[in-house]
Amino acid sequence: MEANKVEVKATANTVRITPRKARLVIDMIRNKDTKEAFAILKLTNKNANEAIYKVLKSAVANAEHNNGLDANNLYVKAAWVNDGIRMKRMLPRAKGRGDVIIKRTSNITIVVAEKN
């Protein structure tokens, strides 16, 4: 049995990006070194990059400061995006009706761990 496998997690809740769009970016950085993941996030042209970059940076900082892990020896062990709350807005239509516009949000979670 492995001794002392430390995993460090960071989350961002209610991020104003749809989960479907955020999952495209999360899938690119899963199981990568943190340095490589940061490079991928900087060079990919997607709107979800900024929020995911912040969560990854927070996870690395948590590992470094709270658990004393080496930042150069970390990788993205797990990363996922769940549905957040859905904000409902009304759009006026003809004859006094209204359409419901659903603004989706995401809960982004990233888990980092040390490589062997």
Per-block mean pLDDT, blocks of 10 residues, the chain (116 long): 78 97 97 97 96 98 95 96 97 97 98 93
Classify residue 111 as exposed, middle or buried by CB count within 10 Å of its CB (0-12, 13-18, 19+). middle
Amino acid at residue number 61 = A
pLDDT at position 2 is 53
CATH superfamily ID and name for 7-114: Ribosomal protein L22/L17 (3.90.470.10)
- φ, ψ at 30 (rounded to 5°): -65, 135
pLDDT at position 43 is 97
